[in-house]
């Protein structure tokens, strides 16, 4: 069954739903149709009208904050640059975060996100085309990333050495303690923003508890956060 036929039935039954979905990039839109079909337990050869009615019924169940970003996540890098000029860089970051929420709903990884990959490729191509004194903007970005990694590694090495000297490790030969935490399942369906706020709230709570336990004594720590399907 073609998506064109499906969308024709959506338009006939709910113009508002059709207009809302039309703002979403076809890649995401078609993935959403398939997700709704799976959740509705419809067969591959189901009736197009029945599928359309399920789409109309299920769309309002999506978080409004996600639906409101349908247009934003669908913009290409060039469109954001042309439409929003100097504010485009901040909007690009906002679009990237919004795509995380879309990927969580559709259950796809960043590597499988064709829209995100194309956005990243277009951005890198433009940065490579802007050159000054033989160096491109992309060269500068790559160098900055390399320097930041070297800086972070040096800081972690210094923290480890300082902790050993201060007697904050189990022994002079150990590297301290490693804690791995995962948010409960209830947070897995939440937006990137809410999940990030909860992670920071819990980490800050751990730091406060550590400070109280040490009664104001010194403590050293570093952290890394991994966002699944990001």
Q: What is the mean pLDDT of residues 48-56?
A: 95
Confidence of residue 54 (pLDDT cuts 50, 70, 90): very high
pTM of the model: 0.70
Average pLDDT value for the chain: 85
- Asked whether the predicted pLDDT for residue 109 surpasses 80, the reply is yes
Cβ neighbours of 78 (radius 10 Å): 14
DSSP state of 226: -
Name the phi and psi angles at 225, rounded to 5.
-115, 130
Tell me how crowded residue 124 is: count the other CB atoms within 10 A of its CB.
16
Q: Tell me the two tokens of residue 205.
A: 């709570």
Q: Is the dihedral of CA 204, 64, 27, 38 positive or negative?
A: positive
Burial class (CB in 10 A: 0-12, 13-18, 19+), 51: buried
pLDDT digits (tens, 9 = 90+) for 121-179: 998 888 888 777 778 877 777 888 889 889 888 887 887 787 777 777 777 667 666 67
Q: What 8-state DSSP symbol labels residue 24? A: S
Q: How far apart are CA 54 and CA 42, in angstroms?
A: 9
**Distance between CA 165 and CA 160 in Å, rounded?**
9
């Amino acid at each position: 069954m073609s998506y064109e036929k499906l969308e024709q039935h959506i338009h006939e039954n709910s113009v508002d739903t059709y207009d809302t979905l039309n703002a979403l990039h076809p890649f995401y839109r078609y993935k959403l149709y398939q997700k709704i079909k799976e959740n509705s337990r419809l067969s591959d050869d189901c009736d197009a009208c029945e599928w359309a009615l399920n789409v109309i019924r299920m769309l309002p169940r999506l978080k409004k904050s996600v639906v409101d970003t349908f247009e934003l996540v669908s913009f290409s890098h060039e469109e954001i640059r042309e439409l929003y000029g100097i504010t485009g860089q901040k909007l690009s970051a906002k679009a990237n975060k919004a795509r995380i929420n879309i990927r969580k709903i559709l259950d796809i990884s960043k590597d499988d996100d064709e829209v995100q990959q194309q956005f990243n490729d277009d951005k890198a191509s433009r940065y490579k085309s802007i050159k000054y004194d033989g160096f491109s903007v992309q060269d500068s970005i790559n160098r900055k990333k390399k320097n930041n990694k070297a800086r972070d590694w040096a800081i972690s090495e210094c923290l480890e050495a300082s902790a050993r000297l201060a007697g904050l490790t189990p022994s002079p030969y150990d590297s301290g303690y490693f804690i791995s935490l995962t948010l409960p399942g209830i947070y897995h369906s939440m937006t990137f923003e809410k999940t990030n706020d909860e992670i920071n709230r819990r980490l800050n709570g751990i730091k406060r508890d550590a400070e109280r336990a040490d009664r104001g004594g010194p403590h050293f720590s570093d952290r890394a956060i991994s966002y699944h399907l990001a």
